[in-house]
Structure 1
Amino acid sequence: YKKREMEKEEFYFRIDKKDGEQLGFVRIYNIDYEENTFTWGSWIIKEERPLYSAIESALIIYEYAFYDLGMSKAIFDVRKENVGVLKFHKKFGAIKLYEDELNEYFELSRENYEEQKEKRYKKYLLDR
């Protein structure tokens, strides 16, 4: 995974509390530099975490992918049974593209992200 990260094919982020306690990991992958799209996920996070940690880790991913990597769209899927995660992504402004038996497939444009960030999530971000 370090080789893929050095080649800018994937990026891994460790999620920590401010006191340094490790909460989990998340990654960016399927990066398409021609289409300016990415996928994120492999979100592993402790159940006994602060309520805001999911929001903050998603914001870190979107901020890095949209602004540092210059991506314009996130493309991802969520298992239908994962109702909480489906609701979470819809609150971020993700648009459902289609579904199959197991998953719902989404995209989130940088514009939709920015709109929701201004409305709901700006308080979680430091000035960039």
Structure 2
Amino acid sequence: MKDLTGRSIYLRLAEIQDAEFIHSIRIDPRYNRHLSAVNGGVDSQEAWLREYKIREAADLEYYFIVCRRRDHMAIGTIRLYDFIGDRDSFGLGSWILTEDKTASAALESVSLAYCCGFQVLGFRACHLDVRKENTKVISFHQKFGVVATGDDAQNVYYSMTPAIFNKFA
């Protein structure tokens, strides 16, 4: 898959050599409050990325590094995973942006991920979950027009379709 390019950022596929960057942001308390716990160090992240590259090659998952266009600095991650059915739905997650992000990186990275899922890969829907206490991200996705599909003690579950996304894109 080619890089996905926006106005100020681009998404490139994660590589094994990105393990240190990914691990560093996943363990950073500024960014990990709403993430699942990290077990292990950089070696564990490298092992996870090796397994991920097998899933990527099988068209089962795509994990992107978000980079600034002006200097190619890695500023975050976003992932398309949990592919359901024959292109019925993909999961959107592993979304982290560092303080080095551009002003529009959040909007651009999610838009590029939706474009990848809907236009490049041909999915008919996207599903995502957001921790209930992550009110900024809930508000962000609601502005995109996501539809709440349920909740549990920890998360709110949402769905996005190409028709809804195209109204906001």
Shorter-chain TM-score: which interval? 0.7 to 0.9
Decide whether the 8 Å contact of 1:93 with 1:113 is kept in 2: yes
Q: Which runs of 5+ in 1 are unaligned?
A: 118-128
Decide whether the 8 Å contact of 2:78 with 2:92 is kept in 1: yes
Sort the Cα spacing of 1:51 and 1:33 in 2 relative to 1 into closer, same or farther, 3 A.
same
Q: Provide, for residues 1-24 of structure 1, a one-character-per-residue CA deviation record: whole Å limited to 9, x for no partner.
A: 100000011001111111211101
Aligned residues: 117
Equivalents in 2 of 1:68, 1:35: separation in Å? 11
Identity rate, percent:
33
Alignment RMSD: 1.1
Is residue 15 from structure 1 mapped to residue 66 from structure 2 by the alignment?
A: yes
Q: Provide, for residues 32-75 of structure 1, a one-character-per-residue CA deviation record: whole Å limited to 9, x for no partner.
A: 24252000111122023222101110011000100111001111
Write 1 or 2 for the structure with the bigger share of strand: 1
Sort the Cα spacing of 1:14 and 1:84 in 2 relative to 1 into closer, same or farther, 3 A.
same
Partner of 1:96: 148
Q: Which runs of 4+ in 1 moved over 4 A?
A: none
Which of 158, 164, 169 is residue 106 of structure 1 equivalent to?
A: 158
Equivalents in 1 of 2:87, 2:55: separation in Å? 19
TM-score, with length taken from structure 1: 0.87
Decide whether the 8 Å contact of 2:75 with 2:98 is kept in 1: yes
Is residue 29 from structure 1 mapped to residue 81 from structure 2 by the alignment?
A: yes
Partner of 1:3: 54
Partner of 2:136: 84
Q: Which has the higher contact order (CA 8 A, sep 6+)?
A: 2
Which of 88, 91, 100 is residue 48 of structure 1 equivalent to?
A: 100
Equivalents in 2 of 1:92, 1:61: separation in Å? 13
